[in-house]
Structures are given as structure tokens and as C-alpha cells.
Amino acid sequence: MKFFRNSEAVIGLIIIAAMILIGAANPAFWDLDNLFSLLQSNIIIGIMALGVLLVMISGGIDVSFPAVAVAGMYLTVHGMLLTQYDGVLLPFLAATLIGLILGALNALLVYRFKMIPLIVTLGTASIVRGLILGIIGTSMINIDRFPKVLINFTKSDIYTVVKPDGTTSGMTSMLLIYLGVALLIHIILKYTMLGRGVYAMGGSAESASRVGFSLKKTTFFVYCACGALAGFAGMLHSSMIWLCNPRDFVGMDMQVIAAVVLGGASIFGGSGSVIGTMMGVFMLVMVKNSLILMKVETTWQLVVLGVILIVATAFSAKRDRKSRT
């Protein structure tokens, strides 16, 4: 029974069962091509979800990260075009930094003014999006203007197969970046005082501060990290699709939160893991991907997503209740 209490194991089983079912319904699921694109779709939403995971473990919530991601990528790509800058590392650093600063703004409002995180981050999301669209512009930066360096940077593959018809399909090496970020967050959460402080604060802020964790430091860390990861993910996203659209990521907030909750994190804070979140993201992406594969009209996506979120939260609410009594 202990096995089933472990949410990661349960999600793992559900994923395997779902894969077998989907594969049986449409064998095309197992094509390397499809699996590659499935994994590729995990990268951006996964990096964002890891940031949200940090915030949620600490007992907060952040819905501003899609706006932050837009700010990171749109400002940076615009800057690159203006200065004719020709490099990869600096733009990514810049986008991450933009995210970090906006995250710090969230942290300041949440910590200093003791306001409910949902309301604060809804407000900052509106501020950031409004500023970007209202002042910087609403037009997309298309492939013909998109910096070539970034396109070349994301073109590399880890592994390539040649299909029978002569075309190739490859697994993008950007996956390694995702795995690297995940490993980093995992190490921070598991093995550093900072990470343990995040769990402690989510479990009980009062107790955490009494045993000596700085709530200020922890709050700033989680929101800054969430913002930084969002900014970075935004930049990576536009580099991967060779397009920079300031209206991108609308509705992404709910999906990412769904994935994190699906991965076993509790909205009350104190629980959640990197592995669980990655599985939650995988599950969500797989369902979306497979709806298309099974020729379900794309308009049904939101309905399926809503049902999954409701069922997952109902289960986790039940689990939380059991473990408390």
C-alpha cells in the first residue's frame, strides 16, 4: 500500500498505462518521429513548471510567468535586432535576468505587503503584458528577421535517425538543457539549506522562521527563480520555433499549474518533487499530443485538460486529507 501513497509511482504507472493504450489505438504513437516531438514539447513547459514548482512548494502561486517569459524573449530579441548583436550566451543571460528582476518584483510585493500571491501575480502579469504590448509593440518577429545565430544554435540534434523515405528526424539537444535545469533544481531542493527552507516554509512558515530559515530569503529565491526560469524558457521557445510572438503563452499559466499539481505538488505547499513535476508535464503534453494523434478535434483540448485537472486535484485533495488525519 505504501507504494500507492507515493504519488510519483502512481503517476508513473498511469503514464505507462496511458502509453500502452494510446499505442494500441494508434501505433504511430511509437514512431521515433512522434516520440521525439513529444519530448521536444516537454522542454519549454517543463522548464516553466520547475519554476512554478518551487513557488508552489513554498506555499505560494505564480501566474505571471507567461507574461515574464514574453518579456524575456521579446525584449531580448528586439535588443539583438537593434544592436545587431551576434551571440547566443548573452541573449539567454539577458532574458534570464529580465525574468529574475520581474520575479523579484513579485517577491517584494508578496513578502513586503503580505498580499495573496495569486492576486499579486495576476496584477504583475497584467502590468508586464500591458507594457510589452503597449510600448514595445504587438508585431511578431518572423523567421526572416529572427537572429540567425539563435536558429543555428537550436538546430543541433543529440541523435538523428534516417527514415526509410530518406528524410531525417532528430532529437533536439535542447532537451539536455531541460534535463540540466531539472537536475540543478533537484539538487537545490534536496541537498541545500536553501531548498530545505523552501519545503519548511511551505509546510509551516511560522515554524520555518522559528528554526532559523529566513522567510525573506526563501520568498525571494522562489519567485526570482520562477521568473528567471520563465525568462529563459521564453527565449529558448522563440529560438526553437524561430519566431517571437508577444502574444504567446496565453493560457499557459493554467496548463503549467495543472502539470505541477498533476505531478503531486500540493497547493498548500510543503510537498512536491522535480521528478513528479517532470512526469506531470510529460503526462499533460502526451495527452495533448495524443488527442491530435487520435484525430480528436483540437477544440476538445481544453475540455480534456479541465477534466484532468479536476480529477487530479480531487485525488490529491483526498490524499492530503488522509495524510493529515
Interacting positions 243-262 with other proteins (CB under 8 A): 254, 257-258, 261
As a whole number of angstroms, the distance between CA 205 and CA 219 comes to 11
As a whole number of angstroms, the distance between CA 186 and CA 191 comes to 8
Sorted by sequence, the CB contacts under 8 Å of residue 274 that are 6+ apart come out as: 50, 53, 182, 185, 186, 189
Closer to other proteins by Cβ: residue 112 or 210: 112
Sign of CA dihedral 66, 72, 77, 78: positive
Exactly one of 82, 113, 167, 295 binds other proteins (CB under 8 A); which one?
A: 113
Q: Are 44 and 236 in contact (CB under 8 A)?
A: yes
Sorted by sequence, the CB contacts under 8 Å of residue 283 that are 6+ apart come out as: 11, 14, 15, 18, 259, 262, 263
Closer to other proteins by Cβ: residue 1 or 135: 135
Exactly one of 34, 40, 169, 313 binds other proteins (CB under 8 A); which one?
A: 313
Binding mask 37-66 for other proteins (x = CB under 8 A): ------------------------x-----
- Least spacing, CB of residue 59 vs other proteins, in Å: 12
- Least spacing, CB of residue 77 vs other proteins, in Å: 18
Q: Examine residue 297 and tell whether it contacts other proteins (CB under 8 A).
A: yes
- Least spacing, CB of residue 245 vs other proteins, in Å: 14
- Least spacing, CB of residue 267 vs other proteins, in Å: 5
Q: Are 161 and 171 in contact (CB under 8 A)?
A: no
Closer to other proteins by Cβ: residue 114 or 295: 114
Instruction: Give me 61's grid cell.
Output: 502561486
Q: State residue 161 phi and psi, 5-degree precision.
A: -120, 150
- Least spacing, CB of residue 120 vs other proteins, in Å: 7
Interacting positions 115-174 with other proteins (CB under 8 A): 115-116, 118-120, 122-135, 138
Specify the 3-state DSSP secondary structure of 273. coil
As a whole number of angstroms, the distance between CA 123 and CA 104 comes to 14
**Contacts with other proteins, residue ranges (CB under 8 A):** 61, 109, 112-116, 118-120, 122-135, 138, 254, 257-258, 261, 267-268, 297, 299-307, 309-310, 313-314, 317-318, 321
